Amino acid sequence: MPKESKNQIKQQLVSVRFSMTKYIEFLTFAEELKMNRSEFINHIYDLYKKKKGLDTDMTNFSKRLENRMFEMVSAVAGLDEQERLKAKNKYLSNLKREFK
């Protein structure tokens, strides 16, 4: 990708083909948001980037929650360190089989 100076702003035109049904929906959504077509496409792209960030955040949150739940259940069950590690390995092994 070519380097741009800080003072130089470049834009690129993008063409998109829609079925007539999707095009009418597209225009309707843009109109509802009081945006022109270009602004609406940029808006959609920004939302997509935010969604990807949220997906990553949710995945990380889910992993942390799963680890904390496992640790809490292990503590309530009164597992010592060796039993906890054995239970964790069995749990992870079961997960791997489940996703095969």
* Percentage with pLDDT > 70 across the chain: 91
Contact predicate 94/86, CB 8 Å: no
Which pTM was predicted? 0.56
Q: Are 64 and 58 in contact (CB under 8 A)?
A: no
pLDDT tens figures, 6-43: 556 788 888 999 999 999 999 999 999 999 999 999 99
What contacts 24+ positions apart, CB below 8 Å, involve 46-49?
A: none
Distances (CA, A) of 3 to 6, 11, 12, 13, 14: 10, 13, 14, 18, 20
Tokens of 41: 């496409």
